[in-house]
Amino acid sequence: MDIEKVTLMIGVSGVRGIVGETLTPELITRLGVAFGTYMNSGKIVVGRDTRVSGAMIKHSVFAGLISTGCEVIDLDICTTPSCSLMVQNLKADGGIIITGSHNPIEWNALKFLKGNGIFLNDEEGKQLLNIYYQGAFKKVKWYNLRHVTEDHTAVENHIKKILKNVNIKLIRKKKFKVVIDSCNGAGAIITPLLLKELGCKVIKIHCEPNGLFPHNPEPIFTNLQELCKTVKRYKADIGFAQDADADRIAIVDENGHYLGEEYSVCLASNFILKKEPHSTVVVNISTTQAIEDITKRYNAKLIRTKVGEVYVAEEMIREKAIIGGEGNGGVIYPKVHYSRDSLVGIALILQYMAETDKTIKELSLEIPKYYMIKEKLFCLSKDSYKVLEMMKEKYKNEKINLIDGLTISKDDLRINIRPSATEPVMRIFVESRSYNKSLKTAVEFKKEINRLLKKVS
pLDDT of residue 7: 62
What gap in Å lies between CA 168 and CA 347, rounded to an integer?
9
Domain boundary, last residue among 364, 391, 407: 364
CATH code at position 352: 3.40.120.10
Task: Indicate whether 197 and 337 sit together in one domain.
Answer: yes
Task: Indicate whether 129 and 274 sit together in one domain.
Answer: no
Task: Indicate whether 336 and 297 sit together in one domain.
Answer: yes
List active site positions: 101
Q: Is the pLDDT of residue 424 over 90?
A: no
Question: Is the model more confident about 260 or about 25?
Answer: 25
Binning pLDDT at 50, 70 and 90, where does residue 13 land?
Answer: low
Contact 286, 311 (CB under 8 A): no
Is residue 163, in this structure, part of any structural domain at all? no
Q: Cα(first)–Cα(last) distance of the chain, in Å? A: 11
**Residues with Cβ within 8 Å of residue 447, at least 6 apart in sequence:** none
Strand 14-18 versus strand 71-77 pairing type: unpaired
Task: Indicate whether 285 and 386 sit together in one domain.
Answer: no
Is residue 411, in this structure, part of any structural domain at all? yes
What gap in Å lies between CA 225 and CA 229, rounded to an integer?
6
Q: Is the pLDDT of residue 9 over 90?
A: no
Q: What percent of the chain lies above the pLDDT cut of 70? A: 98
Mean pLDDT value of segment 233-255: 97
What gap in Å lies between CA 325 and CA 264, rounded to an integer?
9
Residue 212 DSSP SS3: coil
pLDDT of residue 102: 86
Is residue 159, in this structure, part of any structural domain at all? no
Task: Indicate whether 345 and 383 sit together in one domain.
Answer: no
Beta-bridge partner residues of 239: 179, 252
Report pLDDT digits (tens) over 199-211. 999 999 999 999 9
* Lowest-confidence region among 156-165, 264-273, 380-389: 380-389
Range of the domain at 393: 371-456
Contact 249, 258 (CB under 8 A): no
Task: Indicate whether 150 and 216 sit together in one domain.
Answer: no
Task: Indicate whether 174 and 319 sit together in one domain.
Answer: yes
Mean pLDDT value of segment 111-127: 95
Task: Indicate whether 351 and 442 sit together in one domain.
Answer: no
Report pLDDT digits (tens) over 358-380. 999 999 999 999 999 999 998 88
Binning pLDDT at 50, 70 and 90, where does residue 152 land?
Answer: very high
Domain boundary, last residue among 121, 154, 187: 154
pLDDT of residue 3: 40
Taking residue 127's Cβ as centre, other Cβ atoms within 10 Å add up to 14
Mean pLDDT value of segment 243-257: 97
Q: Is the pLDDT of residue 347 over 80?
A: yes
Q: Is the pLDDT of residue 2 over 50?
A: no
What gap in Å lies between CA 292 and CA 281, rounded to an integer?
10
Task: Indicate whether 248 and 117 sit together in one domain.
Answer: no
Residue 53 DSSP SS3: coil
Burial annotation 69-78 (CB, 10 A radius, 16+ → b, else e): bbbbbbbebb
- pTM comes to 0.94
pLDDT averaged over the chain?
Answer: 94
Is residue 164, in this structure, part of any structural domain at all? no
Q: Is the pLDDT of residue 12 over 80?
A: no
Selection from 149, 20, 164, 141 nearest residue 73 by Cα: 149
Domain boundary, last residue among 304, 335, 364: 364
Task: Indicate whether 77 and 24 sit together in one domain.
Answer: yes
Which helix (H) or strand (E) element contains residue 8?
strand 8-11
Strand 238-242 versus strand 249-252 pairing type: antiparallel
Q: Is the pLDDT of residue 334 over 90?
A: yes
Is residue 442, in this structure, part of any structural domain at all? yes
Task: Indicate whether 435 and 413 sit together in one domain.
Answer: yes
Task: Indicate whether 375 and 360 sit together in one domain.
Answer: no
pLDDT of residue 5: 43
Q: Within its chain, how far is the Cα of 178 from the centroid?
A: 22
Instruction: Indicate the number of domains in the chain.
Output: 3
CATH code at position 425: 3.30.310.50
Q: Is the pLDDT of residue 4 over 90?
A: no
